[in-house]
Amino acid sequence: MNFDARPGAHIARRRFGQNFLIATGIIERIIASIQPRPGENVVEIGPGLGALTRPLIEQTGHLHVIEIDRDLIARLRERYAPECLTIHEGDALKFDFAALCKEENASLRVVGNLPYNISTPLLFHLAGFASRLRDGHFMLQKEVVARMVAAAGTSEYGRLSVMLQYRFHMERLFDVPPGAFHPAPKVTSSIVRMTPLPAGTYEARDETRFSRIVAAAFSQRRKTLRNTLRDFLDESALKALGFDPGLRGERLSVADFVTIANAG
């Protein structure tokens, strides 16, 4: 083990959603999935006790990290020299990821064990920087990843699925059991890979309208499109686009939502 994961080394803080990865085999599998290379521009969200930090530095030569816990920041500063680790102290929900790739055609790789309490808003925040990202590898609660990768027509498919799949190709890689962490959470986690889609894959003319339509379609899952989307399109307009007003939002693909949004 290449970091201090002893129970007394740092008291996990519930308000930050801290569960520290300690299983060496899982750490190695995550790094193998990322395949970091020397010189790549990589940022880790919430490095914690450094389970992924050290192997990422060893593979790339330099790493950016975003951390909000001052105690953990102090530990990182003691352990790593500034030339191999740049620490950004603060909230990842407010972080400007574009600031790490100012050069033309620069691309950023993002890695993180995302706390459950901020995972969804953080994913939406990252989606706003999709054009600047090369990929993202994240550990989240298994049920959240199931929603992220869900296909239309399934029970897990919803707003999170559509909004992320509008910008990214989603791939669930493998599960991580509770025993891989300290303290052990009560849930299983999963690793997901997010790769930005080629420009123009989906083009909503008004992305704010697109977002509002997706949110409305899933606001009351049992209601049909004629009810959930009536503030945007009436029944005749939906029929003219080729959609049955009696369908529920979960039956529509990402492309379908773009078509509806562009009809306004």
User: Mean pLDDT per 10-residue run, the chain (264 residues)?
Assistant: 42 53 95 97 94 96 96 94 96 95 83 90 95 96 97 97 98 96 89 96 97 96 94 96 97 98 90
Same domain, 36 and 166: yes
Give a yes or no: residue 3 inside a domain.
no
Same domain, 180 and 242: no
Give a yes or no: residue 244 inside a domain.
yes
Q: Could you tell me the CATH number of the domain that includes residue 215?
A: 1.10.8.100
Task: Give 169's strand partners.
Answer: 195
pLDDT the model gives residue 18? 58
pLDDT the model gives residue 10? 46
Q: How many domains does the chain have?
A: 2
Give a yes or no: residue 123 inside a domain.
yes
Give a yes or no: residue 222 inside a domain.
yes
| CB neighbour list of residue 11: distance below 8 Å, 6 or more residues apart | none
Give burial (CB, 10 Å; 0-12/13-18/19+) of 151: exposed
Same domain, 231 and 163: no
Same domain, 119 and 242: no
Same domain, 85 and 135: yes
Give a yes or no: residue 7 inside a domain.
no
Separation in Å, CA 224 to CA 72, 147, 152, 229, 233: 48, 20, 15, 8, 13
Give a yes or no: residue 201 inside a domain.
no
pLDDT the model gives residue 186? 87
End of a domain among 148, 166, 196?
196
Assess contact for 159 and 214: CB atoms under 8 A.
Answer: yes
Report the alpha-carbon distance of residue 125 to residue 109 in Å, rounded. Answer: 15
Same domain, 119 and 218: no
Same domain, 221 and 148: no
**Domain extent at residue 218:** 207-262
Same domain, 212 and 190: no
pLDDT the model gives residue 102? 77
pLDDT the model gives residue 13? 42
Same domain, 182 and 251: no
Assess contact for 43 and 19: CB atoms under 8 A.
Answer: no
Q: Could you tell me the CATH number of the domain that includes residue 37?
A: 3.40.50.150
pTM of the model: 0.90
Same domain, 48 and 141: yes
Same domain, 172 and 64: yes
Give a yes or no: residue 9 inside a domain.
no
pLDDT the model gives residue 4? 44
Same domain, 108 and 230: no
pLDDT the model gives residue 73? 95
Give burial (CB, 10 Å; 0-12/13-18/19+) of 135: middle
